[in-house]
Amino acid sequence: MLSVRLLGLSLLIAVGFAALGACSDDGGAVGDAPDADPSGEGGLPDGYVPPKRAEFGLDARPSNTTCLAPARPPSTAPVKFEQVFANVNLQAPMMIAQIPGDKTRWFVAQRGFSNDGNATIVSFPVANPGNTPTTVGTIGPLGAMESEGGLLGMAFHPKFAQNGRLYVTWVRNGGSTSFRSEVGYLTSADKSGTSFTGYTPILGPFEQPYPNHNGGGIAFGKDGLLYLSFGDGGAGDDAAHNGQKKDGFFSKVLRIDVDNPSGGLAYGIPAGNPFKGGGGEPATFAMGFRNPFRFSIDRDTNEVWVGDVGQNQYEEIDAKVKVGANYGWPCREGLHDSPNSTDPAKCPLGPTTPGLTDPVAEHMHLTPNSRSITGGVVYRGAAVPGFVGTYVYGDYVRQQLWTIAFDAGTGAAVSTQLTDAPAANWVDFAEDNDGELYAVALNQGAIYKLVPAAPAGPNTFPDRLSKTGCVDPKDPKKAAAGVIPYGVNAPLWSDGAQKERFLALPDGAKISVQDADGDFDFPNGTVLMKTFTVAGKRTETRLFMRHDDGGWNGYTYEWLDDGSDAVLLPAGKTKTVGTQTWTFPSRSDCVGCHSEAAGRSLGLEVGQLNGDYVYPSTNTIANQLKTLDHIGMFDKPLGKPVEQLLAYPDPYGTTAPAAALETRARAYLHSNCSNCHRPKGGGRGNMDLRFGTAFVDTKSCNVDPEAGDLGVTGAKLVAPGAPDQSILALRPHSPAANRMPPLASSVVDEPGVKVLDDWIRSIAACP
């Protein structure tokens, strides 16, 4: 029997509805119970009448003329990022560049993350680029790749007009550990870039023990030298042993002279490299990084800036990196001693290792929720004169953009988030030949350009919930007449909060149901509303809106203590509610979790809404999909009876009959994890935790973790029969920085993680 969500009526269970198998508005989800009594006073309302079973919960679609997505709030930042070359079809772009002296074309390194054998370099003109870029070169064969494999970066030689060389850094399958990093160059015979052939290796290949933390940075400096970066070898704590090793290429930025080879190598060692005379890898420029995924060289000063991906708690930006500097990994993470600092195998000299260099900025994982830093570029263009000298960078997982400027008086670095920037998996920041700045979104296959922001106009965005048109302006606790309530079968854990959910579409607009996965695609103007009640107190209401430009954005309103209204927050914040800490997400946090790959609207899909619901306006119980279909909300009929459509089970098994343990665990993972852990979802690694993905295809069973093993010997993503060795179970158990989901949650869902533990314990072997 499908579960029943009882909005505002959780106490019905005690008065006769146990036979319907209902325990809450979310299919019996413990800790996600309905807002039975928003006042917190308890008890059934006067004149209570039990709802009746009906074929449809609503007789007609309510008219909605008030709850519509307004214009976005005007930005106060001096710059913005706007998409360019939107018509160009790019496949997994990793880096873009222009030939020195030729600003008429862009070249794109495409990762080649497939089994077809090669990565590609494509080109398109700046003016009238068309839809299909021209393939000008290939790199390979790659073999069967995963994670951070494939073509990672490219850089044109400063004297390209004389030698026609394009340098590349890439990872391929092969060798004793299955992965190898290599650096080489392709040659354009006519020095035009029309085509590249004749690949010549210059560094490597060298073994990569795991497919992650490959660095992949490459750039030429004003000195004509080639700079490269490589990570610590991956696999979490195991790779930390490489951080303070002076030999080898791991955990370093290298500097080599490709024009003057010597010593039997395909390159020379520049004067000034700290180990040129011995004592370590001669190509070393600086060391002590964890995964310097992207770095850049200031075109005016030749100073190196590095974005270094953290592990447990801190990401960091290393500014103006000096030759011979040691940035401390694994002894230090950000500005702090790391847990590895007392391990002599990883940090031989201990916490007091002399000569370590601190970053210029750090990001703590919980606040502001940075998870995988992508190093950026110092702006030196002419379009925004007041912005010159500002460093722009991003976060791949949190999908945010940031800037660093230096206080004119104190010289202190000031890090600022571009709160109204687009959300994307930022993988590269680049400059054109004029110094204008671009950002590359890997999973979108998109390129954005930094441009001046127009002067901020009048702000008409509603600053109070009562002004949004989505609630009764006289009593904001009540939804407006034109919005439709709904519930979900398998809820996202929200630290025990009770939740009320609503959707609102413009009159006449329709929902499209995606055939492949049942996701709902909403029209422009849509508003999705969710109110959270924590410890019996109405705390937050979130509005997730699809604006007229087709983009989604989230806005959070904090309820006043007297419950009379809720106030729009300009940024994220935390506060104590009852005995727990409640996190209000920022606007970029909202679109970071509501990933594009997951269709943005996470809970609104066939499998979630295929269940019964109590409609307060009619006091009836009916199937939600049938009801929405009946009132004309879909652009075409469902086509099948709801009994033949997918319905996710209640993860907690509180509905009757309880679904099998595996399907309940998979429903829990779908709701709490699959928004990121799916193809192009932005989560680290290759896991696909969607409910419809067969367990054998989730790429989790007996797979080594790529984002840290939490210090657990023999840890796997899923270790059959052993939840205490399974990262998939351990992370939801953690209340600290290693927690998953990483955003807006600090309370462990004990019943939920027990479902995961029991399921993993029941797995005898990988399929």
Q: Residue 126: its pLDDT value, please?
A: 97
335: three-class secondary structure by DSSP: coil
For 117-182, the three-class secondary structure string (H helix, E strand, C coil) is CCEEEEEEECCCCCCCCEEEEEECCCCCCCCCCEEEEEEECCCHHHHCEEEEEEEEECCCCCEEEE
Q: 454 vs 512, which has greater pLDDT? A: 512
Q: Residue 125: its pLDDT value, please?
A: 98
pLDDT bracket for residue 24 (50, 70, 90): very low
Give the C-alpha separation, 9 to 37, whole Å. Answer: 8
**Residue with token string 């509905």:** 655
340: left (phi over 0), alpha (psi -120 to 50) or beta: alpha
Res 3 pLDDT > 60: no
Q: Residue 1: its pLDDT value, please?
A: 33
For the chain, percent of residues with pLDDT exceeding 70: 89
Give the C-alpha separation, 307 to 284, whole Å. Answer: 17
For 13-34, the three-class secondary structure string (H helix, E strand, C coil) is HHHCCHHHCCCCCCCCCCCCCC
pTM of the model: 0.73
| Beta-bridge partner residues of 393 | 402
Give the C-alpha separation, 537 to 477, whole Å. Answer: 12
Q: Residue 725: its pLDDT value, please?
A: 95
Res 37 pLDDT > 60: no
Q: Residue 385: its pLDDT value, please?
A: 92
Cα dihedral 147, 149, 151, 154 sign: positive
Res 442 pLDDT > 70: yes
Report the length, in residues, of the chain.
Answer: 767
Q: Residue 49: its pLDDT value, please?
A: 87
* DSSP symbols for 465-477: GGGSSSEETTEEE
Cβ atoms of 405 and 390 within 8 Å: the answer is yes
| C-alpha closest to that of 21 among 656, 678, 658 | 656
Cα dihedral 411, 413, 417, 421 sign: positive
Please report, for residues 14, 396, 496, 684, the alpha-carbon distance to residue 369 in angstroms, rounded to integers and kept in the order given.
Answer: 41, 12, 21, 15
Q: Residue 238: its pLDDT value, please?
A: 63
Distance of CA 279 to the CA centre of its chain: 40
* DSSP symbols for 473-526: TTEEEEEPTT-EEE--SSPPP-TT-EEEEEEE--TT--BEEPTTT-BEEPPTT-
Cβ atoms of 307 and 393 within 8 Å: the answer is yes
Res 157 pLDDT > 80: yes
pLDDT, average across residues 210-227: 91
Range name among 334-348, 684-698, 703-717 with the lowest pLDDT average: 703-717
Res 648 pLDDT > 70: yes
Interval 327-339: pLDDT, tens: 999 999 999 888 8
Residue type, 237: D
For 638-707, the three-class secondary structure string (H helix, E strand, C coil) is CCCCHHHCCCCCCCCCCCCCCCCHHHHHHHHHHHHHCCCCCCCCCCCCCCCCCCCCCHHHCCCECCCCCC
In this structure, are strands 373-378 and 391-395 parallel, antiparallel, or unpaired?
Answer: antiparallel
753: three-class secondary structure by DSSP: helix
Question: What DSSP character marks residue 10?
Answer: G
732: three-class secondary structure by DSSP: helix
Q: 714 vs 95, which has greater pLDDT? A: 95
Q: In what order do the strands lie in the sheet with 566-568?
A: 484-486, 498-504, 527-534, 537-546, 552-559, 566-568
Res 35 pLDDT > 50: no
pLDDT bracket for residue 237 (50, 70, 90): low
Q: 76 vs 478, which has greater pLDDT? A: 478
pLDDT bracket for residue 53 (50, 70, 90): very high
710: three-class secondary structure by DSSP: coil
For 78, residues 6+ apart whose C-beta sits below 8 A from its C-beta are 384, 386, 387, 452, 453
Give the C-alpha separation, 480 to 462, whole Å. Answer: 15
pLDDT bracket for residue 105 (50, 70, 90): very high
Cβ atoms of 25 and 34 within 8 Å: the answer is yes
pLDDT bracket for residue 161 (50, 70, 90): very high
Q: Residue 700: its pLDDT value, please?
A: 93
Domain boundaries, the chain: 50-68+462-642, 92-361, 660-767
Q: How many alpha carbons fall within 13 Å on the CB side of residue 641?
A: 3
Q: Residue 432: its pLDDT value, please?
A: 98
Q: Count other C-beta atoms under 10 Å from residue 635's C-beta.
A: 12
Res 446 pLDDT > 50: yes
Res 744 pLDDT > 80: no
In this structure, are strands 4-5 and 612-615 parallel, antiparallel, or unpaired?
Answer: parallel
pLDDT bracket for residue 44 (50, 70, 90): low
For 511, residues 6+ apart whose C-beta sits below 8 A from its C-beta are 505, 520, 521, 522, 523, 628, 633, 634, 635
Token duo for residue 368: 């502001």
| C-alpha closest to that of 522 among 509, 541, 537, 532 | 509
Best CATH choice for the domain 92-361 from the list 2.60.40.420, 2.120.10.30, 3.40.50.300, 1.20.1530.20: 2.120.10.30
| C-alpha closest to that of 179 among 698, 706, 720, 663 | 706
pLDDT bracket for residue 20 (50, 70, 90): very low
Interval 552-609: pLDDT, tens: 889 999 999 999 999 999 878 889 999 998 988 877 777 667 777 777 888 899 999 9
Token duo for residue 688: 């696909």
Q: How many alpha carbons fall within 13 Å on the CB side of residue 201?
A: 10
Task: Give the angle subtended at the CA of 58 by the CAs of 52 and 63, to the nearest 5°.
Answer: 150
Token duo for residue 100: 């020195």
pLDDT, average across residues 643-652: 94
pLDDT bracket for residue 611 (50, 70, 90): very high
Q: Residue 675: its pLDDT value, please?
A: 85
Res 548 pLDDT > 60: yes
Interval 369-427: pLDDT, tens: 457 899 999 999 999 999 999 999 999 988 889 999 987 778 888 888 888 888 889 99
Question: What DSSP character marks residue 277?
Answer: T
Q: Residue 29: its pLDDT value, please?
A: 28
Mean pLDDT of all residues in the chain? 87
**H-type alpha helices, 94-227:** 160-163
pLDDT, average across residues 500-520: 93
Q: Residue 236: its pLDDT value, please?
A: 57
750: left (phi over 0), alpha (psi -120 to 50) or beta: alpha
In this structure, are strands 512-513 and 304-308 parallel, antiparallel, or unpaired?
Answer: unpaired
Q: Which uninterrupted H or E stretch holds 733?
A: helix 727-733
What is the rounded end-to-end Cα distance, in angstroms, of the chain?
Answer: 29
